Structure 1
Amino acid sequence: MEINYTNYLKIKQTGISRAAMAEHFAIPDWKLKKLIAINGWGTKRPTIGNESGFDEYTEESCYWAGFLAADGCVDTKNRVRIMLKYDDINHLEKLKAFLQSTHTISVNTDKYNRCSFELTSSHICDMLELNFNIVPNKTDKLKFPSHIPRKWLIHYLRGYFDGDGSICESFSNKNSITASLYVTFASGCRDYSETLFMYLQKELNLGGHLQKFKDSVKWQLKYNTNDAIALLGYMYEDSSVYLDRKYALYQRIVVDNVREKR
């Protein structure tokens, strides 16, 4: 069989090994490997066009660092990984666009219906640690990045909230007509939660409660109606990057002043 790209692809699509392919072409495996490399027949390695994306503080870099601090992870092999429910796959597309990455977003159609994004970059991991305190195995040792300038920290907080925060409406009793509003942050690190709690207290004069989840190692910051509205406005007003479904709740509750009613 003639060795050309068309025949190479045709055989490759059968799923056989490279060694078996070499036998089809009646050449040694090493020679086929060399031909693949020289002619660029193999799968091209994914690229990161904006590898310096976390080098400086911007709205996008701070937002995505906050989101990764909440919902992502880095490891000792310089991998950055994040997994979300499939409904939020568009958010991974936004992250991919920010990094100008050609990496594939993987979809897992098991019972959890999830999607994930992963890349490897020692530079990005270094910058996430240097500028945002994001390190491997961060769950119980994540440090709040108080050194981020105030004008940028708001975007980090929105990113963290989009990853590990929630907006809830519930009726306090059977006679309630309008639902009560709650906004929460969650973290596996007490020190992080306490520092965030004090920052919001100082920045927005919020009350709120800091408590540990029952039978869990996670901590929760909880803010009720008026504080919740102030906090949502602080995080989302004039923002340009956010998780769409949470931004829609902010629009309805804060901007349009529409709450759930019986």
Structure 2
Amino acid sequence: MERSSRYCKLTYEEIAERYLSGQSSEEISAAAGVTSRSVRRILNKLNVEMRPHGSWKRKHTLNEDYFKHWSDKMAYLLGFFVADGCVSGELQTISFSQNDKAILEDIRNELGSTHKIYTDKRTNVHTLYIHSKIMKNDLMNHHGIQSNKSKTIEFPHIPDQYISHFIRGYFDGDGHINYKKYQVSFVGGSEPFMNSLAQILTNKKIKNYSRSYSNHYRVFISGRRTIQEFANFIYQDKNIYLERKYQEFTKELLPIEILKDRDRVQ
């Protein structure tokens, strides 16, 4: 995460997060150890919509109790958040980030939110920041998602009828498909989470294998037939999903009944 200078105590992302959570540029400048003008310059660079000087913080609408109640769509959003979400350590804020802005607009609509999606012009990553103590507490206390989740998160307890939607959400965030190689993969930093994911796929009769790397773990699904079995599993009764990943699976023109996997080289 980039800093505006070696004297600034906050990253660009932390400055944007604080501003979108309602802090003034003066409050942020005090925390960052730079001038208010520098803060405003960074916000302009990140394409963050500025509030009129001296205005009250805008009040946004939001279904703050959204993560209290299970549904197909809630399970998807929870899976997506585990992959591409962030719980702020200091502020009462959560955020979703993605290269695809359309999926964040779908998520925002599902949450009943009017919060703005901002775009980092340097990376073209879009972020939806949501300021809600209730939603943050629910994600932490009901679903075990902490601010330092990437290395420590355990697989949440998901009722079985929602597990395909949760995995679709996680796949849309931290999953990859290479259709030419007939391979799907998931990446994550938490070994317990990835082990649980692999076991759930096995329980669903979806063949997979795992690999451990120096700072992350991967779960692979390979084979022409098996990746279609996986697609049938996660897209059953689909509602919210990332269109570009879904379209990769539709490149298969043959019916699944006649598809076969090649033997995998060990």
TM above 0.5:
yes
- TM-score, normalised to structure 1, is 0.72
Give the match for residue 45 of structure 1: 58
2:141 paired with 1:130: yes
Larger Rg: 1
2:95 paired with 1:84: no
Matched-pair identity in %? 27
Give the match's secondary structure for 1:253. Answer: coil
Q: CA deviation at 1:254?
A: 7.3
Q: Deviations over 1:103-140 (max 9, x none)?
A: 11111222x22211111111111211233321111011
Of 200, 219, 222, 2:220 maps to 222
Change (3 A) 1:125 1:199: same
**C-alpha distance in 2, partners of 1:43/1:91?**
30
Q: Deviations over 1:206-246 (max 9, x none)?
A: 33211023xx3110000112222111110012201111111
The one-letter amino acid paired with 2:140 is E
Unaligned runs of 5+ in 2: 1-25, 27-53, 260-266
Q: Deviations over 1:122-159 (max 9, x none)?
A: 111121123332111101111101x2210012111110
Q: CA deviation at 1:84?
A: 1.7
Of 151, 158, 161, 2:161 maps to 151
Q: CA deviation at 1:42?
A: 3.1
189-198 or 248-257, which moves further after superposition? 248-257
Give the match's secondary structure for 2:229. Answer: helix
Give the match for residue 233 of structure 1: 232
Give the match's secondary structure for 1:158. Answer: helix
**C-alpha distance in 2, partners of 1:205/1:246?**
22
The answer (yes or no) to whether the contact 1:48–1:99 under 8 Å persists in 2 is no
**C-alpha distance in 2, partners of 1:140/1:235?**
25
Q: CA deviation at 1:83?
A: 2.1
- TM-score, normalised to structure 2, is 0.71
2:66 paired with 1:67: no
Q: CA deviation at 1:70?
A: 0.3
The answer (yes or no) to whether the contact 2:179–2:249 under 8 Å persists in 1 is no
**C-alpha distance in 1, partners of 2:234/2:64?**
26
**C-alpha distance in 1, partners of 2:75/2:106?**
14
The answer (yes or no) to whether the contact 2:164–2:235 under 8 Å persists in 1 is no
Change (3 A) 1:46 1:254: farther
Change (3 A) 1:130 1:227: farther
**C-alpha distance in 1, partners of 2:112/2:69?**
16
**C-alpha distance in 2, partners of 1:89/1:255?**
32
Give the match for residue 175 of structure 1: none
Q: CA deviation at 1:50?
A: 1.1
**C-alpha distance in 2, partners of 1:233/1:207?**
14
CA RMSD in angstroms comes to 2.2
Give the match for residue 191 of structure 2: 190
Corresponding pairs, count: 203
The one-letter amino acid paired with 1:194 is N
**C-alpha distance in 1, partners of 2:135/2:254?**
36
Unaligned runs of 5+ in 1: 1-16, 18-40, 171-179
Q: CA deviation at 1:44?
A: 5.1
